[in-house]
Amino acid sequence: MEIDAAGNPAIKGPAAVPKPARLAHLRIDPRGYPIIATVGQGSDEVDFGSLSEKRKLVLATFDLCAVCALPFGDEPRWQVSFHEDRLKLRTWVSNEAPVHEVCGLYAAQVCPFVSSPYARLGDEFRKGQRRPDVVVLAGFKQTKRVFGRRSGLQGSEFVLHFETTDLVRSHSLHDGTEARQAYEELLQNDPPVPPDVEERELADLICNLTAEENEDSGGVMAGAAWFAGAAFCPGVRNVQGMERYAKNAFYTQIAQRVLTEPGFAQEFMGSDDPSTRAAMKWLTTRSSLPDTLKSWRSSALNRLGREHEPASGSGKTSDQRKTKRKAQTATRRKNRR
Ligand SMILES: [Zn+2]
């Protein structure tokens, strides 16, 4: 890591580093930094050091990169550490959502505040407590599990954890030159994987403020993710910020209907909420769901057993119609202050 005359890490401004094509859709903050998907973001300011659990839940559900909000597909999922020893482990558990390789290397290049591991790095530098010798980026084949549990960092708070397994490759970056070389090499050979229409729509919703209220879209998107199956993520009910979905039985009832009633997700696309519409469209058009969501859903199906089998006959009860109408307006209402 390069250090400037004042003893601070030498950080390149965003204008000095070419941006990967896949980050083109991110909003830019007043200083020129791309606003990454995993941080809370209002209309005035963005705190790059603060992760949003709601946004992490959205990223986990739809299997998206924490920087660009585009899908991983077959690409490895990258995590960051400051300890090279961790590379001996095939499985990592992190409270950060993983990123694409190019997104991680770009973040390392541009600014310690762009991704939260670097934000912490920045804090440590500023406080003069620790100066890591190495920044390790590790790419894993899959995200095996996502679950809520108490955070070691924040004492009693529950946060989402991502378990990535099967280390594919890694970068150990000992200084700015190594970081730059790794990034530049990759940038020349970073095949863009174009998202499909539904994936693009999700990314645009996550990376922009809500159209009507001009607010952080993390809340409405987390509600939509809950319907799509995040309701069944182990430990999610205790995760900070999830009270609104966990305590209102309606959200989970809808999630159960989406899970168990054939055609319900399709009907639910008539929602007046753009996030819910996009989530249902995505859900009903996947040839296969991401592993994490698949495992949440299959455990829930096992639990629910036959109790939530589709209602017999084609007629809907008035209760079912009522639930649907209520569902279609709920995510909008809840986002208003
Ligand atoms: Zn990315």
Q: Supply the DSSP string of 271-316, one letter for each residue.
A: -S-HHHHHHHHHHHH-SS--HHHHHHHHHHHHHHGGGGPPPSSSPP
Whether residues 100 and 175 fall in one domain: yes
Q: Residues 59, 176, 167, CA angle at the centre, nearest 5°?
A: 45
Strands (E), 95-226: 135-150, 158-173
pLDDT digits (tens, 9 = 90+) for 164-185: 999 999 999 888 788 889 999 9
Whether residues 185 and 212 fall in one domain: no
* AA identity, residue 69: A
Calculate how far, in angstroms, residue 90's C-alpha sits from the geometric centre of ligand 1.
Answer: 22
pTM of the model: 0.85
Which of these three, 193, 220, 245, is where a domain ends? 193
Calculate how far, in angstroms, residue 154's C-alpha sits from the geometric centre of ligand 1.
Answer: 27
- Whether 7 is covered by a domain: the verdict is no
pLDDT digits (tens, 9 = 90+) for 5-53: 444 444 556 777 888 989 999 998 888 888 999 988 877 777 777 789 9
Mean of pLDDT over the chain: 83
Residue 179 · residue 109 · CB < 8 Å? yes
Whether residues 254 and 125 fall in one domain: no
Structurally, how many domains does the chain consist of? 2
Terminal Cα-to-Cα distance of the chain (whole angstroms): 43
Residue 98 · residue 162 · CB < 8 Å? yes
- Whether 100 is covered by a domain: the verdict is yes
Calculate how far, in angstroms, residue 301's C-alpha sits from the geometric centre of ligand 1.
Answer: 31
Q: Report how far residue 52's alpha carbon sits from residue 240's, in angstroms, rounded to the nearest whole number.
A: 9
Calculate how far, in angstroms, residue 156's C-alpha sits from the geometric centre of ligand 1.
Answer: 30
Size of the chain in residues: 337
Average pLDDT over residues 315-336: 53
Q: CB 44: neighbour CB atoms within 10 A? A: 6
Whether residues 175 and 202 fall in one domain: no
pLDDT number for residue 326: 60
Calculate how far, in angstroms, residue 327's C-alpha sits from the geometric centre of ligand 1.
Answer: 31
Which of these three, 163, 193, 223, is where a domain ends? 193
Alpha helices in the chain (DSSP H): 53-62, 101-110, 116-127, 176-188, 197-207, 218-228, 243-246, 249-260, 264-268, 274-285, 291-304, 318-335
Residue 104 corresponds to which tokens in the numbers above?
Answer: 């991680």
Alpha helices in 13-88 (DSSP H): 53-62
Calculate how far, in angstroms, residue 64's C-alpha sits from the geometric centre of ligand 1.
Answer: 8
Calculate how far, in angstroms, residue 139's C-alpha sits from the geometric centre of ligand 1.
Answer: 13
Calculate how far, in angstroms, residue 207's C-alpha sits from the geometric centre of ligand 1.
Answer: 12
Calculate how far, in angstroms, residue 59's C-alpha sits from the geometric centre of ligand 1.
Answer: 11
- Whether 5 is covered by a domain: the verdict is no
Strand, helix or coil for residue 225: helix
| Residues spanned by the domain of 331 | 198-335
Strand, helix or coil for residue 127: helix
Whether residues 186 and 294 fall in one domain: no
Calculate how far, in angstroms, residue 69's C-alpha sits from the geometric centre of ligand 1.
Answer: 6
Whether residues 238 and 141 fall in one domain: no
- Whether 225 is covered by a domain: the verdict is yes
Q: Which residues contact 91 (CB under 8 A, 6 or more apart)?
A: 140, 144, 163, 164, 165, 166
Whether residues 18 and 167 fall in one domain: yes
Whether residues 272 and 131 fall in one domain: no
Whether residues 186 and 295 fall in one domain: no
Residue 258 · residue 229 · CB < 8 Å? yes
Calculate how far, in angstroms, residue 150's C-alpha sits from the geometric centre of ligand 1.
Answer: 27
Residue 269 · residue 228 · CB < 8 Å? no
pLDDT digits (tens, 9 = 90+) for 92-117: 999 999 999 999 999 887 755 433 34
Calculate how far, in angstroms, residue 109's C-alpha sits from the geometric centre of ligand 1.
Answer: 14
**Secondary structure element (H or E) that encloses residue 45, with its range:** none
Q: Report how far residue 23's alpha carbon sits from residue 190's, in angstroms, rounded to the nearest whole number.
A: 12
Q: Is the pLDDT of residue 327 over 80?
A: no
pLDDT digits (tens, 9 = 90+) for 122-140: 444 444 445 467 889 999 9
Whether residues 50 and 139 fall in one domain: yes
Residue 116 · residue 55 · CB < 8 Å? no
Q: Residues 62, 190, 9, CA angle at the centre, nearest 5°?
A: 90
Calculate how far, in angstroms, residue 311's C-alpha sits from the geometric centre of ligand 1.
Answer: 41
Calculate how far, in angstroms, residue 22's C-alpha sits from the geometric centre of ligand 1.
Answer: 7
pLDDT digits (tens, 9 = 90+) for 254-304: 999 999 998 999 999 989 999 999 999 999 999 999 999 999 999 999 998
Whether residues 143 and 273 fall in one domain: no
- Whether 4 is covered by a domain: the verdict is no
Q: Is the pLDDT of residue 226 over 70?
A: yes
Calculate how far, in angstroms, residue 226's C-alpha sits from the geometric centre of ligand 1.
Answer: 22
Calculate how far, in angstroms, residue 247's C-alpha sits from the geometric centre of ligand 1.
Answer: 33
Burial of 70 (0-12, 13-18, 19+ CB in 10 A): buried
Question: Tell me, what DSSP letter sits at residue 14?
Answer: G
pLDDT number for residue 12: 58
Q: Is the pLDDT of residue 313 over 70?
A: no
pLDDT number for residue 119: 44
Which residue carries 């600014």 as its tokens?
Answer: 111
